[in-house]
Amino acid sequence: MKRLMTVLAVVAAMFSTSAFAADSACEAQAAEKKLAGAAKTSFVKKCEKDAGAGAATCDAKADAKKLAGAAKNSFVKKCEKDDKAAGAKATCDTQAADKKLAGAAKNSFVKKCVADASA
C-alpha cells in the first residue's frame, strides 16, 4: 500500500494540470477501495468521465489564450486527445508498477497498453 501511494504521488507530481489531478484522485479513490484489475480500470474510467475534467480544462485553456472559432475547436480537440493519451500513460505506468515490471519489459508493456487505450 505504501509503495502504491508513493507511485501515485510521483505520477501526481509529474502531471500538474487539473485533468491529471482528477486522474490521480480517481486512482487514489480506487486504491482506498482496494480495487484491482478490471474493477479498478472500470472504476477509474467512470470516475474520470464523471469528473469531466478534460473538456472543461481544455476549454478554459482555450479561453485563456483568447481563441475562437476554428482555432479554438482545433486547440480543444488536440488538448483533449493529449490529455487522454497522458492519462492512459499514467494508468499504464501504475499497472506496470503493480506488476513489478522494470526496464525493457516495462517500456514494452506501457507502449502496448497506451496503444490499446488509444484504439
In this prediction, residues 7-33 reach a mean pLDDT of 61
Any idea of the CA torsion for 72, 74, 79, 81, to the nearest 10 degrees?
150
CA distances for 28 relative to 68, 89, 99, angstroms: 36, 16, 18
Would the pTM count as exceeding 0.75?
no
- Mean predicted lDDT score pLDDT of the chain: 78
Enter the C-alpha cell of residue 32: 482506498
Domain count, the chain: 1
Enter the C-alpha cell of residue 82: 493529449
Q: pLDDT-derived band of residue 20, with 50, 70 and 90 as boundaries?
A: very low
Q: pLDDT-derived band of residue 85, with 50, 70 and 90 as boundaries?
A: confident
Q: Name the residue among 3, 46, 23 with its Cα closest to residue 92.
A: 23
Residue 91 reports pLDDT greater than 90: no
44-58, 61-75, 94-108: range with lowest mean pLDDT: 44-58
3-class DSSP string for 47-103: HHHHHCHHHHHHHHHHHHCCCCHHHHHHHHHHHHHHHHHHHHHHHHHHHHHHCCCCH
Cα 8 to chain center, whole Å? Answer: 11
Percent of the chain with pLDDT over 70: 72
Enter the C-alpha cell of residue 55: 473538456
Residue 50 reports pLDDT greater than 80: no
Query: Which residue range is the domain that position 99 belongs to?
Result: 2-118
Q: pLDDT-derived band of residue 23, with 50, 70 and 90 as boundaries?
A: low
